[in-house]
Each structure stands twice: as structure tokens, then as C-alpha cells.
Structure 1
Amino acid sequence: MIYSSVLAAVVSALAAEAIDNTSKQAWQKLYEPGSEDGHDMATLSSSVERGEISRMDADCWVFARLHSQLKPRHWDALVAKYSTQEGRKVQSISRLHPLVASHAPHLFIVSAVTAWAIPKLKGADGKRSSDMIVLPAEYYDINRWDPEARPERTRRRWKKGIEDVLEAMVSEALEAAGAILDHEGLSMKNAA
């Protein structure tokens, strides 16, 4: 077993994709395009265990499979929540906010989705790594998201509603990813 859970597989695959490594595509040698059983990852898993290919190769395989098989909104929810690759994360955020139904104004929705996907980091000025997207501290002030200055209770309700929708998308995406990985023969200890 390569991964302990679906979440571990997703996070590992998204992290591997962010690493610039020209040998990442070695897993493609194991792929058999005409394979009818659809269990290509089972072959991959056993190849990792035998040391024939690296964990990085497996992660890249999982990335490619999930990217091609998941619904776009599920893929974008996972990338927005778990990816560290700035470009992909920003693109996914921009595709997610139009999908969120809310009575909140557009600026509020965009800001809430962005703050959810790029949470405020603890530490000196919220900075831990230069490789991560860090928003200015004032970005997280929900008073700035609503120019009409509606009541605090309303803004908090909107924010929670938006976050609930996004977390539901992530849950659905992890469930769908688990089904894909299971179909491919890559068993997990737990579903998420």
C-alpha cells in the first residue's frame, strides 16, 4: 500500500506535481493504453513496493489520473485547498468562486473563497516559507469584503455558508477520488 488514505494520496500527488523534476514522467512507461481492466494503479503500487519506480513516479501517476478523471469542480476544490503550486491554486480559486451560491455580494464571495483556500498562517507576519502564497493580514478582515457595511452577524453567516459549500465540495471530491483510486486497484486504509 502506497498511501494511508485518499487524503494522503491527494496531498502527496499535489505536492509532487509542484516539484520541477524532468524525470517525473517515468510512470508513463508502465501505462498500457489498451488495458481493459482499469487497474493500472495496482501495477504501479506493486512496482513501487519492488523498488522498480519511485514514490515520486507514483504521485505523478495519481496526479494525472485524478486530474483527468475528477469533475472540474472537484479537482478545483482539491487544488484550491491542498496544492502549494501557486499558479494552479490561483486558477482553481478563480474557477470555484462562480460556483458558490450565496446572497453575499460578488466581492465578498471572491474574498471568502480566497481566504478559505489561502488561510492565514501563524508565525511572524504569517510567513513561513517563500514558496507559499501569503496574503496581507488585512485581507482576512471580513469588514473589507462588504462595502455596504452590512451587520456583523450577516457577514459571519455569509462566510460560514461559503465555507460550508467549499468543504462539502472537498468532501465530495475526496469521495470521488477514493472511488477512482479504488477502481484503479490502489487500496486505502480509510476513505478520507
Structure 2
Amino acid sequence: MALCLLAGSGCSSDAGARVAPSSQVTVSMPATRLPGLHYAWVPMPGQLPAESDPRVLDPQFRARLQAALDRALQAKGYQLAPSVAQADFLVAYRVGVRDGEEVMLRNEGVGSQPTPQATVECNSNGCSQMVVPGGDGAPVMDLRRARYVEGALQVEVIERSSIKVVWRALNRGTVSRNDGGATRLDAIARETLAQLPAATP
């Protein structure tokens, strides 16, 4: 599984970072219908270090995330069963996050209007304004470090009788500080389950 999406708190990002898209959903196991109307939750043990991050192990965060997934499932016509034994199918998810960093060349000079700190370095390939004076006065590359949080939410639907996965989706991308709120979690749940087939009586 790719690294995971969603964090309750402590996320940081650079607004100008050229990192992964805010969200990208991939359905690796599509289905035209699910085996019934009633579902029950089952745990999916973590397998990656990102799934052990304290930001996604927080019980309150996981309760909010599961409640958001419940609302998305019920909007498609499915109903939470009183117990696993009374469910037609099972639903499981895994989630985790990791911190990342991207190093980029900074180029704030545009055309004939370079920024005051920029200097020009010329060689056989032409001139560049992406350098600044180093500690000894020699030109050095002007690098920008953008920190971000990356992650993904994976949801699986499992046929209860055969314990076979019949539908799977992965929602991955970058995370903002507010992604642990109820409104954003609802949006992420809807995105992740958008291609889940609606309930058929």
C-alpha cells in the first residue's frame, strides 16, 4: 500500500511545494455491485511504519474517520449491521502518514527583473539567475526545501462468506493541517468511495 492520507494534527506543508496532488483515488479492484445491503466493520492490521504514526493511531481521529466512511456508505444506500454475523459484507480500512521533503531550485528572478539577492552565473550553457553568493562569495545553487505530509487511505470491501476482497480503493496525496476535521473527513470519505457501486435492493 502506498503511504497514507489524513492526520489529526501536527501537519506542515509549504504552500508552494510541487508535491503530490491533494488527492488521487485509484480503484484497483472494481465491482458492479456488492453482496447485499448490510455491512460491518472489521479491523485491518497495520503493515507499514506510516500506519503506526501517532497522528493516525489517535482513537478520536479514527472514530471520526470511520463515522465519515459510515456516512458515505449510507449515502449510497448501505446499512450498518448490528453484528458481523448479520452483515452481508465486511468493510476494512488502513491509514497512515509520513513527512516528506522536496528540494527545488529557487528562481525568483524573472527576465530582466532579478531579485536583489540573485546573482548571475554564466558558463558554456548560458547564464543562470538560480544562484546566490555562498559564504566565501562563490556562486552556489539557491535551493528551496519544501516540507509536506503525504499519505493515503485504503478501503476494502470483503465478502463475508468467502473472506474475499470484492472492491478496493486507495486515496493518496498530500495532507493539510485541517484534514482531520469532520467536514474534510466527509469529503475524503466521499472521494474514496465515489466509485463504489450504489446499493441494489
Which range, TM-score by smaller chain? under 0.3
State the TM-score, normalized to the length of structure 2.
0.24
Higher fraction of helix? 1
In terms of Rg, which structure is larger?
Answer: 2
Higher fraction of strand? 2
State the TM-score, normalized to the length of structure 1.
0.25
Q: Which has the higher contact order (CA 8 A, sep 6+)?
A: 2
